[in-house]
Amino acid sequence: MSNKPLSQMSNSELWRLFPVIVKEYNIDYPAWFADEAAKLGKLLPVAPGELHHIGSTAVPGLAAKPTIDMLLEVKPEADLTQLRQTLEEADWIACPRPDQPPPGMMFLKGYTPDGFADRVFHLHLRYGCDHDEVYFRNYLLAHPEVAREYARLKHGLQHRFEFDRDAYTAAKGDFVRQYTRLARGQN
């Protein structure tokens, strides 16, 4: 437990509080996604684009960080300032991601000064409708042997990068890019 607000913690402090955890698949993940999707549907003032369940929790049987990753397609004319305000008022934490595709925004829910809440969510905002994350998810759904290989990779990386989330994500990068290219038909 920390007396510091999350916004004042260093990456090192945050990574200690929120380590990389890879768990066996939880059959409740789809319900968690559906519950949160329904809340977002009521919360957002205008109908955004499609909301996708992405990441390992979207692949039945795949070991995963117990975090529900969601990808929300937003229209280019969307009022991002209003969207951000609405989400923050509903306890989502804005996490600017200029390294990600436009609009470079992500929101977190379930991060507390005491560590992870029972349910944790990442909401990635994207323009358009052609997303690598969806291609990768679909490839894993169609190729269980690749999903098992991905699980082995993640378990190994968890032990190496338990307290460095950025390094953990980067170390998965080549694997994800390789199978995303295959899913897109780009050998």
pLDDT, tens digit (0-9, with 9 covering 90-100), for 125-165: 998 888 999 999 999 999 999 999 999 999 999 999 999 99
Q: Which domains does the chain have, with CATH numbers?
A: 6-183 (3.30.460.10)
Q: pLDDT per residue over 8-60, tens digit each?
A: 888 788 889 999 999 999 999 999 999 999 999 898 865 567 899 999 999 99
Strands 115-127 and 105-112: antiparallel
- Cα angle at 43 between 38 and 44, to 5 degrees? 105
pTM assigned to the model: 0.91
